[in-house]
Amino acid sequence: MKDQVAGGRWQMAGKFSVLGSQFSEKGSGLRCQVSGGCRSLVPFDFAQGSALRASALFVAVIILMATAFAQDKPVVLKGGKLLTVTHGVIENGALVIQGGKIAALGPAASVKVPAGAQVIDVSGMTVYPGLIDSESNLGLTEISAEAMTNDLVEMSDEIMPHMHTAEAFHAESALIPVARMNGITNAVIAPESSDTLPGQDSFIQLAGGSATEMLLIRDNAMPLNFTGDERRNKGGFEKRKFPSTRMGLASQLRQAFLDAQDYKAKWAEYGRKKSDAARDKKVEPAPPKRDLKSEALLPYLEGKKTIVLAAESPSDLETAVNLAKEFQLKFVLNHISHSQPVLDYVASLKVPVIVGPIYEAPKEDERYDTVYRLPAELHKRGVKIAFASYSAHNVRNLPDQAGYATAFGLPYDEALKAITINPAEIWGVADKLGSLDVGKNANVVVANGDPLDVKTDVQRVFIEGREIPMTSRQTALRDLYSK
């Protein structure tokens, strides 16, 4: 990387402008502050070289977006087809965005245009709510083969509920604009599934100047993985360690929850003794030692937060569900791609199911379309579904998954709901996201076709009413080398 990074500096040559701001090879600029990976940007003097001019362009866009994320003036999208999700389709509609919210929508002839509004003609376009990915690794990894860019999971222990993806999320990831350019505006950020309890998820918005600005809900849910892949039995017998069997996984999980219950009881007892001491004017007792693992589990044991229960096979699914019921955990299901023999049982649980990626190959004893038909089979049984990419690099393909599922029996309207209002309801943000309704956040997408059609190109994306530049590292490189 001699031509790219030297002493922590990005080297580039020439002048360029981004959104009207001028940047030069001389004088002040930005450099990557390297400390265990590029995590911050600080001033520097541009040096000679040209290898990363496109990257500089992309970084500059991010820096400019770090300004106050607020809508400047009303925007009206007029003449397009509005897919409201919750109350049908409005042909030749108009949608008013004001103060970061959807202020009005309806037939174009009946919607009043605010004074001074920017009116954008979207005739022939389709307008729909920003899409929501129900599980991704965005911001936790950049280059899969490069360890220093990966913060996917902490492998030192299997029980790590006190890990927070919010504390590892990298807002400057070049993968975020790529996802955004295909209409994804929100996502659940989850750790990799190598541990049974790998840490807590975060719900983010794909725009903002920092991780703090992009974070909408910290610790919104926690994965509980019971697929068998979490066993520590890789690399031969001599490298096996506990838990190396499913029995060990279940036992370890049960003990973690029991320890958390005991921890809660100890603190409750301490509280009583402290009150008694204050009443009797005695010496205050010493508090119990804090245990971050047990503390992290308490909101889930109390039913305040949702467990995302992952299991693939019928036997693993039943074991995991029984464990969740034993501790009265509130849960949604995940990764049940190969549990078709027990879908009636799944429906009887009356919980939502996260599905995807739909392109997974069937097992040897399954039909070729087993995985493809899963969304439709769940819908037939009355199960609410949401799609997820389970990726960082393929988040952009989220609408394609929903479209693909329609070819195998999932009704179109339900496929669209599975990437909009359904995940919004599952993650507790349906009052703000998931549909085109007055009062909701103006996370709005304008495309030249149907959102579930792979041929469709997204033309504009608004997040909280502010139009997002349709640029990414790839488009910067394309523009640079197509001259």
pLDDT at residue number 122: 98
Whether this model's pTM surpasses 0.75 = yes
Q: Are residues 297 and 367 in the same domain?
A: yes
Average pLDDT over residues 64-89: 82
Q: Are residues 168 and 39 in the same domain?
A: no
Q: Are residues 201 and 347 in the same domain?
A: yes
pLDDT at residue number 4: 39
pLDDT tens, position by position, 103-120 = 999 999 999 999 999 999
CATH number of residue 97's parent domain? 2.30.40.10
Q: Are residues 233 and 293 in the same domain?
A: yes
Strands 184-189 and 131-136: parallel
- What proportion of the chain, given as a percentage, has pLDDT over 90? 76
User: 3-state DSSP call for residue 278?
Assistant: helix
CA gap 244, 231 in Å, rounded? 5
Q: How many domains does the chain have?
A: 3
Q: Please report which confidence band the pLDDT of residue 69 belongs to, taking 50, 70 and 90 as the band edges.
A: low
* Better pLDDT: 349 or 365: 349
Q: Which of 62-66, 219-223, 245-249 has the highest mean pLDDT?
A: 219-223
User: Do 446 and 77 touch, CB atoms closer than 8 A?
Assistant: yes
pLDDT of 49 strictly over 50: no
pLDDT of 20 strictly over 50: no
Q: Are residues 471 and 443 in the same domain?
A: yes
pLDDT tens, position by position, 256-289 = 999 999 999 999 999 999 999 999 999 999 999 9
56 CB burial (10 A radius; 0-12, 13-18, 19+): buried
Q: Are residues 241 and 174 in the same domain?
A: yes
Q: Are residues 125 and 136 in the same domain?
A: no
Q: Are residues 323 and 297 in the same domain?
A: yes
pLDDT of 22 strictly over 80: no
pLDDT at residue number 14: 40
pLDDT tens, position by position, 81-104 = 999 999 999 999 999 999 999 999
pLDDT at residue number 71: 62
Domain that holds residue 98: 71-129+435-483
Mean pLDDT of the chain: 87
pLDDT at residue number 143: 92
pLDDT tens, position by position, 161-179 = 999 999 999 999 999 999 9
pLDDT at residue number 359: 78
CA gap 114, 94 in Å, rounded? 12
pLDDT at residue number 446: 98
CA gap 187, 170 in Å, rounded? 14
Taking the CA atoms of residue 356, residue 357, residue 363 and residue 366 in that order, the dihedral angle to the nearest 10 degrees is 60
Task: Give kind and range of the element (H or E) at residue 417.
Answer: helix 412-417
Lowest mean per-residue pLDDT among 59-68, 143-152, 184-193, 286-295: 59-68
pLDDT at residue number 82: 98
Q: Are residues 143 and 260 in the same domain?
A: yes
2-6 contacts: CB < 8 A, separation 24 or more?
3/49, 3/51, 4/49, 4/51, 4/52, 5/32, 5/34, 6/47
Tell me the Ramachandran region of residue 139: left when phi exceeds 0, alpha when psi lies from -120 to 50, beta otherwise: left
Q: Are residues 169 and 117 in the same domain?
A: no
pLDDT at residue number 250: 93
pLDDT of 389 strictly over 80: yes
In which residue are the tokens 């993806």 written?
A: 165
Q: Are residues 439 and 419 in the same domain?
A: no
Q: Are residues 125 and 147 in the same domain?
A: no
pLDDT tens, position by position, 231-256 = 877 766 667 787 889 999 999 999 99
The domain boundary residue, chosen from 395, 417, 433:
433
CATH number of residue 171's parent domain? 3.20.20.140
Average pLDDT over residues 61-82: 72
The domain boundary residue, chosen from 39, 64, 89:
64
